[in-house]
Amino acid sequence: MNVPSLLDLDGEQRKVIDLPFDGCYIITGATGAGKSVMAIYRAWMLATAGRAVTLLTHSNLLHQYLGQLAPDLTEALDVTTYHRWIRKFWCEHFETDLPKIDDDGWNYDWVEMQRNCIRKKVRSAAHLVIDEGQNLPVGLYQFCRIIGIDITIIADQNEPIGDDQTTVAEMCRILAVGADPIVLHENRRSTREIALLASKFAMDTRREMSLPRRGGCSPRVLRVSSLKQFLGEVRQRFDKHPEQSVGIICRSTYLLREVQGELTQLGLSKYTQAYVNGDQYRNTVDFSMRPIRILSTASMKGLEFDSVFVPDLDAYTEDPTSVEARLRFFVLCSRAREDLCFAHRGPREPAIVATIPESVLLRLTG
C-alpha cells in the first residue's frame, strides 16, 4: 500500500482527518478509494490526541498488513483482529468464559454478552477504528453500543451483505450515528484500464463508476499449456520491475503450495512468501521484503499489489451472473495497481470473462 503524506491528502480524505475525536463515525466508498489508508490516518489522529485507540480488522492477513504500515505514523497504536480484541476485552472485565454459540468458538452469544455488561456496568472510554467494517456481525456493533465505546467504521459500499455481516444503514441505526457517512469516491489504486475491467463485475449497475485518470497497460488473459509457462510471465515481470510487489492469487491452497514450489524451482524462493490461514509455516507475511506474495482469494480483501497474477481462471466455473461470482471477481481485479494477468489452460475461456470485449481484456497465447 502506498500511504500518502498528510500534505498529499485531498479534500475527501481531509474530511476524515478533521473528524472530532469523540463519537461514532462511518467512512465508506468504492473499492480502491483508499479507505484502509484513512483507517490508519484516523487511528493515528486519535492516538496523537491521547486517545486509547485500537485498529481492528476481520482478516488476519489484513491485520498484519496494516500493523506493519501503522508504525510509520505512530507506535502508540494497537492493531489486531476483531476476534483477538473481543477475547482480550472479555478477559479484562470478566472471570467467566466468553459466551459462544458454537463448538468452534468463533460465533459469540452477543445477547448474553450484552446482559453481562449491563449487569456489571461495563463501559469503555477507548476508541475503535474498524477497517472492512461490513464484514463484522451486527452483534459486535450492538455490544459496542452497550459498553459506550466510540467507533470509526470504514466500510465498502459495494459489498453484498451475508448473515454475519452488517450494512452501513444498520451501523448508523445501531450506533445512533448523527453525521452522514463520509464517502470517498475516487479510485486511488488502479489504472483506468484495470478499473474499467473491474467495473464490468460491479454489483450496482445503476451508478456509473468513476474511472481513474491514470492510464496503463490493459489487463490480459493468457492461454497456457502449463503452470510453469504462466509463472514464466511472473518471472519476466519481476525481473523487469524487482522493486514492485507481485500478488499471485489462487482459488485453492493446493495450487498455492504448487505455485510456491514452482517458483522455488525457478530460483525465486528468496523473493517469495506464501500465506495460508492456519498453516504454521505460512501464516505470516512481511510486507517490507520478498515482494512476490502468494495467497488465496479468501485472504485477498483489503490488500493491493503492483501486479496481480491469477493462475487458475479455469477454477471459476460457477454461474458468472451470480452475486458471489461477480463480487469475487470484482474484488480480485481491484487488488491490482498497475498490471493484471489471468491464465487458463482449457480450450475455452471460462464464462466469467468470455463476454468481456477485447478492448477491455486482451487475449494472448502464452
Quick one: cell of 73?
505514523
Is the separation of the CB atoms in 187 and 165 below 8 Å?
no
Per-residue model confidence (pLDDT) at position 160: 57
Please tell me the distance from the alpha carbon of residue 82 to that of residue 99, in angstroms, as a whole number: 16
Is the separation of the CB atoms in 37 and 302 below 8 Å?
no
Please tell me the distance from the alpha carbon of residue 21 to that of residue 36, in angstroms, as a whole number: 18
Per-residue model confidence (pLDDT) at position 4: 79
On the question of pLDDT at 166 being above 60, the answer is yes
> Which residues touch 114 (CB under 8 Å, ≥6 apart)?
142, 143, 146
Per-residue model confidence (pLDDT) at position 247: 98
On the question of pLDDT at 194 being above 90, the answer is yes
β-strand partners of 222: 343, 364
CA 277 to chain centre: 15
The chain-wide mean pLDDT, for the chain, equals: 92
- Structure confidence by residue, pLDDT tens digits, 122-146: 999 999 999 999 999 999 999 999 9
Residue spans of alpha helices (H) in 49-124:
60-69, 82-93, 110-120
Residue 311's identity, in one-letter code, is: P
Write down the architecture of domain 11-184 according to CATH.
3-Layer(aba) Sandwich (3.40)
- Structure confidence by residue, pLDDT tens digits, 201-240: 987 654 566 799 999 999 999 999 999 999 999 999 999 9
Please tell me the distance from the alpha carbon of residue 284 to that of residue 273, in angstroms, as a whole number: 9
Quick one: cell of 163?
448473515
Per-residue model confidence (pLDDT) at position 27: 97
Please tell me the distance from the alpha carbon of residue 269 to that of residue 287, in angstroms, as a whole number: 15
Per-residue model confidence (pLDDT) at position 281: 85
On the question of pLDDT at 1 being above 90, the answer is no
Per-residue model confidence (pLDDT) at position 161: 62
On the question of pLDDT at 357 being above 80, the answer is yes
Quick one: cell of 61?
492477513
Buried/exposed 31-44: b ≥16 CB within 10 Å, e otherwise: bbbbbbbbbbbbbb
Q: CA-based Rg of the chain, rounded to a whole angstrom?
A: 21
- What percentage of the chain reaches a pLDDT higher than 70? 95
Asked if the domains 11-184 and 192-365 are classified in one and the same CATH topology, the answer is: yes
- Structure confidence by residue, pLDDT tens digits, 84-119: 999 999 999 999 999 999 888 789 999 999 999 999
Residue 159: which pLDDT band, with cuts at 50, 70 and 90?
low
Per-residue model confidence (pLDDT) at position 298: 92
Per-residue model confidence (pLDDT) at position 259: 98
Q: What residue ranges do the domains of the chain occupy?
A: 11-184, 192-365
Residue range 273-285: mean pLDDT, rounded: 92
Per-residue model confidence (pLDDT) at position 5: 83
Per-residue model confidence (pLDDT) at position 87: 96
- Which residue is it, cell 485500537? 54
Please tell me the distance from the alpha carbon of residue 288 to that of residue 337, in angstroms, as a whole number: 17
In terms of CATH, what superfamily is 192-365? P-loop containing nucleotide triphosphate hydrolases (3.40.50.300)
On the question of pLDDT at 80 being above 80, the answer is yes
Please tell me the distance from the alpha carbon of residue 251 to that of residue 343, in angstroms, as a whole number: 13
Residue range 277-287: mean pLDDT, rounded: 90
> Which residues touch 281 (CB under 8 Å, ≥6 apart)?
none
CA 366 to chain centre: 30
Per-residue model confidence (pLDDT) at position 70: 77
